Structure 1
């Protein structure tokens, strides 16, 4: 789940054992998202997808971290087409052939949080939508490569931005890079310091250290980078109605480099 900009002091450092505990929660999230991906076919409701994720999380002895978070009603965020993030799942919302849906999911296991998001194709999607999702995913992985001890926070931001721009050039398109929502620290809480922008100059912000954990989550659009919030006070949509994609992984900094805690085994 993307964080809005927060200011504060201190970034939580975890021991190796605590990071391994976060890995366990991350694997629960990975399994939940895999189960949702199998069910994301034309005719299913986003409410049904929410129930699938909820069941997988609870069967693992974990708790959905989104449900009840500041009043959020679902166990996943289900954001279809022009919805960027924080879409509320509903039994009344039926996905259709050609839809693009981003599913964001979090779980708490033994007090530790995992948070991840994928963008799913419902049936056959357009080439533009496919390229958008792939560009967003590539931007995420470029950012993850910079989640290393000794780097500065915005080295991640810069890598995400440059990968998005490179994909846009290769695809012959312009992608909007969402600026007001971004990644975040994670551990004993879902949203912690630092806030991670998805664009910016490198070499700024706090120095990254072993034991930090960060959720890297770019959001790109096929049009504007401007967004609006719907009356439900949650759902964020593109201001021009263009489609959006969202990918996210929780990543820990270890002596060996980035450890993607929410990647399936």
Structure 2
């Protein structure tokens, strides 16, 4: 079921998103060669809890951690690991959900570690731009397919990267996964129509190689994560947004210039 949120609920989600965005702003300075993914987990969990919020991924479908941390060819749902230390040239994705006073937010960001290759820098830039292209299409009256089609055309046809099909965006609030499904591929004019008060995530996952992925299991944690099928590097950028009469509004803004047209005033 798709739930329509009131302005009060959207404002509550924005407060949750502000806490989540604060984690990402700090990670920009923390993520460097030599840091372990477990240190990122510890920082994120402490920051969220110190701000009176809850890391809402903990306990969701049995998950144990505040963050999902995926490195290089790991596309999504990687777990933080005590003995996985980031090295120069890595790409790390940090995904988390926050609950604050009953309101949810969800955002993933990708970070280049130290100096990365020109190909991987292009991957980060294209993936991030595709997120904002999808947000731009998130207006009342458009359809879900309008979001996915612009992302697919830009990433695959213009830049020849792989646009992951199997993992998609979603509605959010009151739980972290709600209807509708929000694919990052598709045809314009197809899918459900966007309505005022809907809250969704847009989170393109883009690979330098094939769009296809495969699953791997972490036996000790009884958990499944995903990697690119051909071992190519992957990037992901995600915002939680609200559909409003004044256009799409980012609820997890980190205060970057590209967010400015989409902020709640």
Offset from partner CA, 1:195-246 (integer Å, 9 cap, x none): 1111010111111111000100000101111111112232210111110000
1:258 aligns with 2:248: yes
- Number of positions where the alignment pairs a residue of Structure 1 with one of Structure 2: 251
1:222 aligns with 2:224: no
Task: Specify every segment of 5 or more residues in structure 1 that has no aligned partner in the other structure, as ranges.
Answer: 1-9, 169-173
1:96 aligns with 2:82: no
Q: Does structure 1 retain, via aligned residues, the 8 Å contact 2:24–2:254?
A: no
1:25 aligns with 2:16: yes
Moved segments of 4+, more than 6 Å:
none
Structure 2 counterpart of 1:57, from 48, 53, 74: 48
**Counterpart in the other structure of 1:184:** 170
Q: Does structure 1 retain, via aligned residues, the 8 Å contact 2:49–2:55?
A: yes
Find the aligned partners of 1:38 and 1:71 in 2 and give their Cα distance: 31
Offset from partner CA, 1:128-184 (integer Å, 9 cap, x none): 00100111111111000011111111111112112213540xxxxx20110010100
Q: Does structure 1 retain, via aligned residues, the 8 Å contact 2:156–2:162?
A: no
**Counterpart in the other structure of 2:188:** 202
Give the alignment's Cα RMSD to 1 decimal: 1.1
1:156 aligns with 2:147: yes
Find the aligned partners of 1:226 and 1:162 in 2 and give their Cα distance: 17
Find the aligned partners of 1:97 and 1:208 in 2 and give their Cα distance: 42
Find the aligned partners of 2:27 and 2:254 in 1 and give their Cα distance: 14
Q: 1:73-88 residue pairs with structure 2 within 5 A?
A: 73-88=64-79
Please give the TM-score of this superposition, normalised by the length of structure 2.
Answer: 0.92
Counterpart of 2:94 in 1: which secondary structure?
strand
